[in-house]
Amino acid sequence: MTAALGLDLAFDDAQQAIADSVANFCRDHCGDELVRASAGGLPEALWRGLAELGVLALATPEGDGGALEVAAAMESLGRAAHPGPLAESFLAGQLLPEAERAAVAAGEALVAVGSPPLLPWAPVAAVWIELAGNAAWLCEPRGPVDAVATLGGDPWGRVELARHTALGDPRRAAALGGLALAAYLAAAGHRLVEDAAGHARTRRQFGRPIAEFQAVSHPLADAAIQLDAAATLARVAAWHWDEASGEAQRLAGAARLSAARAALAAAHTAHQVFGALGVTLDGPAFHVSRRIRQLVAAPPGPEPARASLLAPLGL
């Protein structure tokens, strides 16, 4: 990807190959039934398979590429609603010592990232990172993890952590995690919009497909435009991250906020189009929209992103 008067935001051949490879993996191994069944856990074979593709090692010394390669992979993973601590793994890959980083990249250890006591993936994690402002720590649990049920189905838990290794300033790592999450959310939102549009073309009311009614087609079009903007912003942030630009953190925060808003709006619109079918557990939308809602709330949350946008304004 090159910079001239503007940015060429199309993936290059290598990045597109990553996107296609991950999409093929998800088609073969991460179908909708598996995603629905994985609520509350994570299939080990699925996670190991993703690691064997080299996805979890992207942008680390053990792997290839940088943020644009991460974005390419996350767009395909988002369309499949692939479960697991994906953005957390990319964040962790920028902070962890070699041994722990290699274990995460190989799919041998799941990582829990956030500010205790409540952490996503805590009940099944083997590596623990506490984020505390502009500092991060490699930690160990002081006691057992108290599992917490979640709407999205991901295993969260309450746990007290003991810090033992300082990992430095996490802001650049958090920017990679944020833009990765943005790419995933925008793609998951697009999946919902496309599925809802397909339903609208075949569902008939008053003798006509409901797609012909502006009350259905216009909200879907609005959702698609917002998601396109969010996906574009995630790629812009990725380019700046790869260039070690001072704008990377701010743009990654903007991408996360934009994608969260667009994906939540897409989920709302899709559920309206599907009607009662959209809120059934085994329906075409719920397993995707529940992951969107879960991930929007994932640590470190939207507050650091907002702060990075407001700081240049003195707010």
Q: What average pLDDT does range 291-306 have in this prediction?
A: 87
Backbone angles phi, psi at 176, to 5 degrees: -65, -45
Q: What pLDDT sits at residue 298?
A: 86
Mean pLDDT of the chain: 93
Please provide the distance, in angstroms rounded to a whole number, between the alpha carbons at the two ends of the chain: 34
Which pTM does this prediction carry? 0.94
Instruction: Say if residue 103's pLDDT is above 50.
Output: yes
Share of the chain above pLDDT 90, in %: 80
Q: What average pLDDT does range 2-27 have in this prediction?
A: 85
Residue at 12: amino acid letter: D
Choice between 69 and 151, residue whose per-residue pLDDT is larger: 69
Q: CA distances (Å), 270 to each of 40, 173, 184, 197, in order?
A: 24, 33, 17, 8
Least confident of 65-69, 208-212, 264-268, 301-305: 301-305
Least confident of 80-84, 176-180, 309-313: 309-313
Beta-carbon contacts of residue 100 (< 8 Å; ≥ 6 apart): 92, 109, 127, 138
Beta-carbon contacts of residue 227 (< 8 Å; ≥ 6 apart): 186, 189, 190, 193, 259, 262, 263, 266
Q: What pLDDT sits at residue 2?
A: 43
Which domains does the chain carry?
A: 172-313 (1.20.140.10)
Instruction: Say if residue 158's pLDDT is above 80.
Output: yes
CA–CA distance, 315 with 308 (Å, rounded to integer): 10
Instruction: Say if residue 4's pLDDT is above 80.
Output: no
- Render pLDDT for 30-65 as a digit per residue (tens, 0 to 9): 999 999 998 888 999 999 999 999 999 999 998 999
Least confident of 232-241, 242-251, 299-308: 299-308
Q: What average pLDDT does range 238-259 have in this prediction?
A: 95
Q: What average pLDDT does range 21-28 have in this prediction?
A: 98
Q: What pLDDT sits at residue 6?
A: 64
Q: What pLDDT sits at residue 1?
A: 46
Q: What average pLDDT does range 196-224 have in this prediction?
A: 92
Q: What average pLDDT does range 270-276 have in this prediction?
A: 92
Q: Which residue has the tokens 């088609």?
A: 27
